Amino acid sequence: MIFSVTLILLFQLAGVVLVQLLHLPVPGPVAGMALLLIAMLTAPALYEKVRPAGQGILQHLSLLFVPAGVGVVGHIGTLGDQGWGIAVALIGSTVLALLAGVFAFLALAKLTGSTDD
């Protein structure tokens, strides 16, 4: 388990270093997880080495939402001041994402000639 966590943290560190060196516009941990995915796709044995830590994290995933909830409560004043704007942005972006998905599906169905309903 410790080896698994160490591997994950090393890939996270590699992502942070890569982002800092190349001035990429993505968070370092995201780049690290992308590197880990690429490594697991090229070396499938790595999957079994990382699996114990991954399963442990997933079993306790709900605990990882606690800091985000505390952050929201810490900014409750901002939410009160900007509540309508945030609600409109959330609803609008959700509708736009759904429409984009529908149009992408329709375009792909037309492109592939699918007639299944």
Q: Kindly report, residue by residue over 61-104, the tens digit of the pLDDT.
A: 888 888 888 888 888 888 888 889 989 999 999 999 999 999 99
In degrees, rounded to 5, the angle at the alpha carbon of residue 38 between the alpha carbons of residues 9 and 53 is 35
Residues 82 and 112 in one domain: yes
Residues 40 and 82 in one domain: no
Residues 72 and 111 in one domain: yes
Place of tokens 């792909």: 108
pTM: 0.58
pLDDT value at 58 more than 80: yes
Residues contacting residue 49 through CB under 8 Å, at least 6 positions apart: 3, 4, 7
Question: Which two structure tokens, joined as six digits, stand for 20?
Answer: 């800092």
* DSSP letters for 1-68: -HHHHHHHHHHHHHHHHHHHHHT-SS-HHHHHHHHHHHHHHH-THHHHHHHHHHHHHHHTGGGGGHHH
Residues 53 and 83 in one domain: no
pLDDT value at 117 more than 80: no
Instruction: Select the more confidently predicted residue: 64 or 41.
Output: 41
Instruction: Select the more confidently predicted residue: 110 or 79.
Output: 110
Q: Determine what percent of the chain is predicted with pLDDT higher than 90.
A: 58
- The domain of 10 spans 1-59
* Contact present, 14 and 32 (Cβ < 8 Å): yes
Q: Give the C-alpha distances (Å, rounded to integers) separating 73 from 66, 67, 77, 79, 85.
A: 11, 10, 9, 9, 18
Q: What is the mean pLDDT of the chain?
A: 91
Distance CA 107, CA 113 (A): 10
